[in-house]
Amino acid sequence: MTLTSTARLMDGTAVAARILEAATRDAAALARDTGVTPCLATVLVGDDPASATYVRMKQNRCAKAGIRSRHVALPQSATTSEVVEAVSALSADPDVHGILVQHPAPAAVDERAVFEAIDPAKDVDGVTLHSFAALSFGLPGFQSCTPGGVMRLLREYGVELAGRHAVVVGRSPILGKPIGMLLLAGDATVTYCHSRTVDLPEITRSADVLVAAVGRPELIRGGWVKSGAVVIDAGYSPGNVGDVEFEAAARRASLITPVPGGVGPMTIAVLLEQTVRAAAQQLGRSL
């Protein structure tokens, strides 16, 4: 990636490393004090290569952080009830402290029903209705990992949200919607945009903080970015391409996340941090 802009890169890799270092220390302390090692269970339905790669990556990160991982693989032909049964079993297992259901699930599986089979106390990926409600009302719970990671990056780089206009492009239940609620909790004025938004470029050009979370490569053109804006690119497409036209946007932004190395590392770091916190809560310990 050649940077020919004035924007400052938001280094998610470096920030994530610090989060993982703290999570590793906490996991070791928990194991030392209780004899219990935090455990993250991953559930993968089907044989999508990209999903399998993501799961392996998370398992490898767990091992490096001193977190046990358990993997449940279900065939492409699995029914919703079969997947729900598997997730419910993990929810009831005291040796499992966090549950991650890799998404998207095959089209025949009701993903929402599967998510709702996760015990909220183990919802370390923040995908249940309970977690979204807690996040929206500012109550204790687990955040969706990518939005949580974005907020950590914004804090790390001293981005002031109060009174600023934040535009979120995308409205998925595990990314677009929750990041908007977190920005609102930070006293930003939030606008959601989506596939039916009229005059999208005009709206994005009004954003002090612009979050691209739609999953369409380079949808956000450089000319759509306000001068001095903070640009968060939460998209990823093959070839290390995000949702934002990086070079052109970086010539206008003050801060911007690269792809890769921006939001992605933060997602995994928050997942592992929340897994350790879930284990501590279930064991009646404070970190």
Q: Which of 222, 262, 239 is nearest to 5 (CA)?
A: 222
Active site (annotated) includes residue 281: no
Given 26, 119, 123, 125, the catalytic residue = 125
DSSP 115-149: HTTS-GGG-TT--SHHHHHHHHHT-SS---HHHHH
What b-and-e string marks burial along 217-252, b requiring 16 or more CB atoms within 10 Å of the CB? bbbbebebbbeebbbbbbbbeeeebbbbbbebbbbb
**Residue 225 to residues 79, 240, 247, 259, Cα–Cα distance (Å):** 44, 20, 12, 17
Catalytic member of 102, 208, 226, 274: 102
Q: Which of 26, 58, 233, 274 is catalytic?
A: 58
DSSP 24: H
DSSP E strands, 138-188 = 165-169
As to burial, measured by CB atoms within 10 angstroms (0-12 exposed, 13-18 middle, 19+ buried), residue 131 is: buried
Nearest 5°: CA angle at 113, between 147 and 117? Answer: 80
> What's the alpha-carbon Rg for the chain, to the nearest Å?
19
Let me know if 226 is a catalytic residue.
Answer: no
Contacts of 178 (CB under 8 A, 6+ apart): 126, 132, 135, 143, 144, 147
Distance separating the N- and C-terminal Cα atoms of the chain? 39
| Active-site annotation holds for 102 | yes
Under a CB-based contact definition with an 8 Å cutoff, are residues 286 and 278 in contact?
no
Q: Which residues are catalytic?
A: 58, 102, 125
